[in-house]
Structure 1
Amino acid sequence: MAENDPFPGEDNTGHIWDGNLRELRNPPPRWWMLGLWASILFVVGYGILYPFWPTADGYTKGLLGWTQIEEYRRGVAQVEAVRAPFEERIRGLTAADILADPELTQYTVASSKVLFGDNCSACHGSGGQGNPGYPILADDYWQYGGTPAKLVESIGQGRQGSMPAHGEILSATEIDRLARFVTELKSGEPGAEDGWSLYRAKGCVACHGQEGDGVVVRLPNGDVITVGAPSFRNGIWRFAPGGYESARYTITHGVNQPGRPGSREAVMPDFGASGRLGEQEVKKLAVYVHQLGGGL
């Protein structure tokens, strides 16, 4: 092939395609070769200094003794050293005490973001916006109370609401009227008198309150007592998508009724009593959640 080379005097391999495409033997530039050898030397040097080369029972440890896990531990120690004074200050305080101190509140909210993400965001959303079937934490409505003490109680002890299934207690007409009545109140309407009469006659006031706002008792000091029953005086629906059909379904099948097919499930696990989180973490989460929704 070389004897038929149409490019005599050119240092090519003799492989010619389409009349003028050929493979040359030109050496690479000197800078490129220097870079190649430098990179080889760098890899060898790196392998000597740091963990690198595989062996029969593991890997070489490197002359510097550096490991990623040790680097991580040093980083954690640095962070904990910065946090330690704040953690010590809030250790003996209640959630309300922390909220009374702007500096501690700022620290607690900042240091609890990951805590919230690891334990709460799967159900309540990364910003407390809620998910289908789970309460919103970013509004100012609190089903069990939004005071710091109530939030600590909810997170630490968990919540499990209960509503009897009325499918076999009430007639279809009564269920229909109560569902429409709830929808009326949720829409901001005062509610028809026949709806109020049925609401009171069937004992709904025992949990949802005389005014349908979820308040069972109002104390002289302004505090209220609730049993966790939702209020009908706002546009927030506990179970998606809300509306008449959703209300009718809940009234018929109830909430957390063992052995009742179709019963709604509304359970929040206890993070403190179960030992999943410590007292300090529960307290910090209560502050974080309080600030999400402008708690009471």
Structure 2
Amino acid sequence: MAENNPFPGENNTGHFWDDNLRELKNPPPRWWMIAFWASVAWWVLYSILYPTWPALPGKSDGENDFTRGILGWTSIKEYKQGVEQVQLVRAKYDEQIASMTAEEVLADPGLLQYTLASSKVLFGDYCAACHGSGGQGNPGYPVLADDDWLYGGSLSRITESITNGRKGLMNAHATILTEPEVDALANFVVEMSEGGQGSAEAWQLYNDKGCVACHGAKGDGVLAELPGGEILTVGAANLTDGIWRFQPGGYESAKHTILYGVNQPDVEGTRDAVMPAFAQVGQLEGKLSPQQIKMLTVYVHQLGGGQ
């Protein structure tokens, strides 16, 4: 093929395609060679300075080791240094919050802004799985972004809920009420949720069957109003608004709750309504410190429904 080279003296390999496409033997440009050897030199230097080669034998626990580099740098070390820097910046704010009540934090615009920003991570880690990332409530769990509260939305009540947890309780009435009584009460609940007033007969049944003991004389879940705006409640639902604790709501949902109750042991079909306690006990992992509870209380209060 070389003897039939149509481009003699061109320094090509003698390989041709489509008559005039050919492979040349010219050396790469000088700048390219300089860059190539510089990259090789940089790789050698990098492997000396930084961790590079994995899977080297020699650790006492039998696991593989790696070259560590003469600078001693690791990504974990850099991460820890970054955390330390962040903690130094946050320390002055955390120290102030530690000596203040939640009410005082709420009244300080600067500390409030810091608390809301830093507590967003706490809420995402501990609360969002049930209550949604914005407090909108996932199916089967309460909404925190409205003004409807089972146990009250004041700072003290929110602190109690986060610290000690909550466990709803309602007796199952399947063996207590007759079918017409269940039907009447379920329709009463639906009527009240739609803004109705309820008939005298329905109110009489409501009181006679003991519903008033938990849901209150007005059906709004309030047993008494305390000085300072606090309310006394056992966590019973407000029957006078359109917010349903258990979805999808309506007649069938109300009937189901009346029949099988809430958190009733050994009752098939009972509603589950449990919030775990988040107070830290000793060094137990997965729990919140008093400082974190205080900051999370302020965050939940500011989601939109705090009292």
User: So what's the TM-score if we normalise by structure 1?
Assistant: 0.92
Q: Mark the CA change 1:250 to 1:17 in structure 2 (over 3 Å): closer, same or farther.
A: farther
Q: Mark the CA change 1:174 to 1:5 in structure 2 (over 3 Å): closer, same or farther.
A: farther
Matches within 5 A, 1:1-296: 1-5=1-5, 8-17=8-17, 19=19, 21-54=21-54, 55-57=56-58, 58-219=65-226, 222-272=229-279, 274=281, 275=284, 276-296=287-307
Structure-2 separation of matches of 1:254 and 1:105: 40
Counterpart of 1:78, as a letter, is Q
Tell me the secondary structure at the aligned position of residue 293 of structure 1. coil
Structure-1 separation of matches of 2:129 and 2:298: 19
Q: CA deviation at 1:256?
A: 0.6
Deviations 1:78-103 (A, max 9, x none): 11111112211221322222212222
Deviations 1:42-83 (A, max 9, x none): 222111111112333312222222122221121111111111
CA contact (8 A) 1:157 1:273 kept: no
Structure-2 separation of matches of 1:133 and 1:162: 15
Deviations 1:133-190 (A, max 9, x none): 1111111221111111111110000000111111222122222221221111112222
Structure-2 separation of matches of 1:166 and 1:287: 38
CA contact (8 A) 2:144 2:305 kept: no
User: So what's the TM-score if we normalise by structure 2?
Assistant: 0.88
Tell me the secondary structure at the aligned position of residue 195 of structure 2. coil
Structure-1 separation of matches of 2:256 and 2:20: 81
Counterpart for residue 61 of structure 2: none
Structure-2 separation of matches of 1:25 and 1:75: 52
RMSD over aligned Cα, in angstroms?
2.1
Count matched residues. Answer: 296
Structure-2 separation of matches of 1:105 and 1:264: 37
Q: CA deviation at 1:268?
A: 0.3
CA contact (8 A) 1:184 1:190 kept: yes
Tell me the secondary structure at the aligned position of residue 303 of structure 2. helix
CA contact (8 A) 2:215 2:237 kept: yes
Counterpart of 1:295, as a letter, is G
Structure-1 separation of matches of 2:71 and 2:247: 58
Structure-2 separation of matches of 1:100 and 1:36: 63
Structure-1 separation of matches of 2:28 and 2:200: 94
Q: CA deviation at 1:128?
A: 0.8
Q: Mark the CA change 1:102 to 1:237 in structure 2 (over 3 Å): closer, same or farther.
A: same
Q: CA deviation at 1:7?
A: 5.0
Sequence identity (%): 61
Structure-2 separation of matches of 1:200 and 1:273: 41
Bigger mean CA deviation after superposition, 166-175 or 12-21: 12-21
Bigger mean CA deviation after superposition, 204-213 or 169-178: 169-178
Tell me the secondary structure at the aligned position of residue 112 of structure 1. helix
